Amino acid sequence: MPYTQEQINHGQKRINYELNEVDKKIIEALRALMGIIQGQKTAPPSKPGSRQMDFSTVEAALSEASTKSDEVADIDPPGCQGPYPD
């Protein structure tokens, strides 16, 4: 079934939106990572191995970005059917 130009434009808008969301999640993850590392730089020295780094916020943001990225690459990207975000 051929797509109309309007359908293609709407689909591309959604793809662009999702790619932007992936970018935001990557930025969020990198900022969280930076905060963890900065906190470790200023923490007082302790016994080796006793300091645990919590990367859960980084992992959560990267997982969400990865999921969205995989969906965008699909033949029928999410949201192409509408309704579209404002």
Among 70, 72, 69, 65, CA closest to 26: 65
In a domain, 15, yes or no: yes
**Within 10 A of 65 (CB to CB), how many other CB atoms are there?**
19
pLDDT tens figures, 17-76: 888 888 888 888 888 888 888 777 666 666 555 456 777 888 888 888 878 777 766 656
Expressed as residue numbers, the domain containing 10 is 5-40+55-72
Give the mean pLDDT of 3-17. Answer: 85
pLDDT value of residue 33: 86
pLDDT value of residue 75: 58
In a domain, 28, yes or no: yes
The more confident residue out of 49 and 8 is: 8
In a domain, 79, yes or no: no
pLDDT value of residue 73: 60
